[in-house]
């Protein structure tokens, strides 16, 4: 494995230069063509005065320039700051101020369509002397979404990214024949990690500027996509699209998903409609991102389909090289009984060294050599982790702890429910009352009373929602996750 992010591209261009590397709406390049382009961009950034350690921001939809900036920044020793395009101007300015960015590339700033960006690409790329990077050299800063107060920038080093690429290649058996669809936003690690892993094996990158259910289905068929990572909401909309059966998905071998719980019935629909294997993932920006995957060991593949689906919908087992524990408030590991709840803490080469110039946040999350995730989970006898809630999202109602994912799973079982999010709101009698925001399938009609009665059939009374809001769309963070903070405040 190369010892810097830049060398991933350099190695593939040297060994597999004729292979297809990138395709977006405007261009298709081989690895050799992409490598030449990235060298010019890197030298152009140096020629305008940027220096190693400077922060370079990018604000754009998925396109070739995004992938190229990841590698050009690595070659020059710049620290790339991917900007969430869904943030307000004020939130974006806070991030630029916190990171001390020297330059912003993207729409409306140093636009990719304008002349001065084009001048960067006239540099003599053959003169480039790539910066030597150590494992601990910062490569990127990602600002976490959905937070309040001061922005929190996660530092990822060359060592973090290379270790994650190596781990993912082995776990997912990635190869040069793989074609990855960049559909989820490249400013988020749920997709950006594949920039490095797919390049390392000289696979192909196909970019879609934004998600749309049928357009993504069509992309999979037309570009012979073999693998991608999408959030459950996207997958739900895709497999339930009325024209989902019109396309050929025979190239698709694996769909990854994470960021939210997924119902077993949706996993079953993925198998039925798309005909590929499904793997649930779990991770955080601070961990590059993946910590677990629901890849079934061989002995579980002999189980009946329904039991296999239940395992595939779990958070998954820790990947090799990840030291993961679920611990109680005193730091003791919980029993593997699928009942005892604890917080996930991790350590390993993919874990961030900390936050950008934020010692208070470091002290809160990084303790005694461990990163404390803030996620609560249980562990089963097969070593599968299953998230039950974020610590901050646990609902205390009438003195009882209610984990939102359990209630959401029951809501998902109703055939009229497309999406659901469970959260707590202040209540003078119960402390917090359990609320649910629900999006119904198109054409469905369901009352709050009917849905509450459906929940009551399987849930204890203290877990059953007291209030249900029907919405056309759930509020989301920039990564596509449902924002319970916005639900609680609305």
Model confidence pLDDT, tens digit, residues 264-281: 888 999 999 999 999 999
Q: Are residues 289 and 398 in the same domain?
A: no
pLDDT of residue 148: 47
pLDDT of residue 279: 96
What's the average model confidence in pLDDT over 286-305? 96
Q: Residue 438: helix, strand or coil by DSSP? A: strand
Q: Is residue 325 domain-resident? A: no
Q: Is residue 403 domain-resident? A: yes
Q: Is residue 247 domain-resident? A: yes
Q: Whole domain around residue 36: which residue ranges?
A: 5-300
The CATH number covering residue 267 comes to 3.40.50.12780
Nearest partner of 66 among 14, 97, 27, 19, judged by Cα: 27
Contacts 24+ apart (CB under 8 A), 90-94: 91/151, 92/59, 94/150, 94/151
- Among 257, 275, 300, the domain boundary falls at 300
pLDDT of residue 248: 98
Q: CA gyration radius for the chain? A: 23
Q: Is residue 388 domain-resident? A: no
The CA angle 292-294-298, to the nearest 5 degrees, is: 120
Q: Are residues 271 and 404 in the same domain?
A: no
Nearest partner of 37 among 64, 59, 62, judged by Cα: 64
Beta strands in 10-78 (DSSP E): 20-23, 28-30, 55-59
| Band of pLDDT at residue 401, cut at 50, 70 and 90 | confident
| Band of pLDDT at residue 146, cut at 50, 70 and 90 | very low
Residue 150 reports pLDDT greater than 80? no
Q: Is residue 323 domain-resident? A: no
Q: Are residues 286 and 410 in the same domain?
A: no
Asked whether the beta carbons of 404 and 377 are under 8 A apart, the reply is no
This prediction's pTM: 0.91
What's the average model confidence in pLDDT over 187-213? 97
Is 419 or 81 the better-scoring residue by pLDDT? 81
Tokens, residue 227:
């693998």
DSSP symbols for 100-166:
TEEEEEETTSB-TTSHHHHHHTTS-GGG--PPP--TTSEEEEEEPSS--SS--EEEEEHHHHHHHHH
Pairing of strands 254-257, 227-230: parallel
Q: Are residues 402 and 291 in the same domain?
A: no
DSSP symbols for 242-264:
TTGGGS--TT--EEEE-SS---H
Domain count, the chain: 2
Tokens, residue 428:
């003078």
Pairing of strands 79-82, 55-59: parallel
Q: Are residues 166 and 295 in the same domain?
A: yes
Residue 50's contacts (CB-CB under 8 Å, 6 or more residues apart) are: 56, 76, 78, 102, 103
The CATH number covering residue 422 comes to 3.30.300.30
Q: Are residues 153 and 262 in the same domain?
A: yes
- Among 300, 320, 341, the domain boundary falls at 300
Q: Are residues 133 and 251 in the same domain?
A: yes
Is 158 or 233 the better-scoring residue by pLDDT? 158
Residue 470 reports pLDDT greater than 70? yes
Q: Is residue 380 domain-resident? A: no
CA pair distance 42, 137, nearest whole angstrom: 18
pLDDT of residue 149: 56
Helix, strand, coil percentages in the chain from 3-state DSSP, rounded to 5: 35, 25, 40
- Among 250, 267, 300, the domain boundary falls at 300
Kind and range of the H or E run holding 101? strand 101-106
Q: Are residues 21 and 144 in the same domain?
A: yes
Q: Are residues 119 and 268 in the same domain?
A: yes
Is 336 or 258 the better-scoring residue by pLDDT? 336
What's the average model confidence in pLDDT over 365-384? 96
Asked whether the beta carbons of 184 and 193 are under 8 A apart, the reply is no
Q: Is residue 315 domain-resident? A: no
Instruction: Provide the mean pLDDT of the chain.
Output: 94
Question: Residue 61: what are its φ and ψ, rounded to 5°?
Answer: -80, 175
| Band of pLDDT at residue 263, cut at 50, 70 and 90 | confident
Number of Cβ within a 10 Å radius of residue 24: 20
pLDDT of residue 275: 96
Q: Is residue 53 domain-resident? A: yes
Q: Are residues 209 and 85 in the same domain?
A: yes
What's the average model confidence in pLDDT over 77-96? 92
Q: Are residues 278 and 416 in the same domain?
A: no
Tell me the sheet residues that pair with 420: 438
pLDDT of residue 428: 83
337 class by beta-carbon count within 10 Å (0-12 exposed, 13-18 middle, 19+ buried): exposed
Q: Are residues 69 and 205 in the same domain?
A: yes
- Total H helices, total E strands in the chain: 15, 25
pLDDT of residue 147: 42
């Amino acid at each position: 494995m190369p010892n810097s992010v830049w060398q991933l591209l350099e190695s593939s261009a040297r060994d597999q230069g004729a292979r297809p590397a990138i395709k977006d709406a405007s261009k298709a390049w081989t690895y050799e063509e992409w490598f030449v382009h990235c060298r010019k961009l890197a030298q152009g950034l140096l020629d305008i005065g940027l220096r190693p350690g400077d922060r370079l921001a990018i604000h754009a939809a998925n396109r070739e320039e995004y992938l190229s900036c990841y590698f050009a920044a690595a070659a020059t020793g710049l620290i790339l700051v991917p900007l969430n395009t869904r943030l307000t101007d004020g939130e974006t300015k806070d991030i630029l101020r916190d990171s001390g960015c020297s330059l912003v590339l993207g729409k409306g700033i140093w636009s990719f369509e304008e002349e001065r960006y084009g001048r960067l690409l006239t540099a003599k790329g053959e003169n480039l002397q790539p910066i030597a990077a150590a494992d601990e050299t910062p490569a990127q800063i990602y600002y976490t979404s959905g937070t309040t107060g001061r922005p929190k920038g996660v530092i990822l080093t060359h060592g973090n990214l290379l270790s994650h690429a190596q781990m993912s290649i082995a776990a997912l058996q990635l190869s040069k024949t793989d074609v990855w669809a960049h559909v989820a936003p490249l400013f988020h690690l749920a997709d950006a990690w594949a920039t490095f892993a797919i390049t390392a094996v000289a696979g192909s990158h196909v970019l879609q500027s934004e998600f749309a259910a049928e357009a993504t289905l069509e992309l999979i068929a037309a570009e012979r996509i073999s693998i991608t990572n999408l959030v459950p909401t996207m997958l739900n909309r895709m497999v339930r699209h009325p024209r989902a059966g019109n396309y050929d998905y025979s190239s698709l071998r694996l769909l990854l998903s994470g960021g939210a719980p997924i119902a077993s019935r949706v996993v079953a629909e993925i198998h039925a409609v798309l005909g590929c294997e499904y793997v649930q993932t779990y991770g955080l920006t601070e961990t590059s991102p993946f910590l677990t995957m629901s890849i079934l060991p061989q002995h579980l593949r002999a189980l009946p389909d329904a039991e296999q689906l239940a395992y595939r919908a779990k958070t998954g087992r820790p990947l090799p090289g990840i030291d993961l524990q679920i611990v109680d408030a005193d730091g003791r590991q919980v029993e593997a009984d699928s009942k005892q709840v604890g917080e996930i803490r991790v350590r390993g080469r993919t874990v961030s060294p900390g936050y950008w110039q934020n010692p208070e946040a470091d002290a809160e999350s990084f303790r005694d050599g461990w990163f404390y995730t803030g996620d609560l989970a249980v562990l089963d006898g097969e070593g599968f982790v299953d998230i039950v809630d974020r610590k901050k999202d646990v609902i205390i109602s009438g003195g009882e702890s209610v984990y939102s994912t359990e209630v959401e799973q029951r809501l998902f079982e109703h055939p009229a429910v497309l999406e659901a999010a469970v959260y707590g709101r202040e209540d003078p009698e119960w402390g917090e009352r359990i609320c649910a925001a629900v999006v119904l399938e198109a054409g469905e009609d369901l009352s709050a009373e009917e849905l509450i009665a459906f929940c009551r059939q399987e849930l204890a009374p203290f877990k059953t929602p007291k209030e249900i809001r029907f919405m056309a769309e759930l509020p989301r963070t920039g990564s596509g996750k449902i924002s319970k903070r916005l639900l609680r405040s609305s």
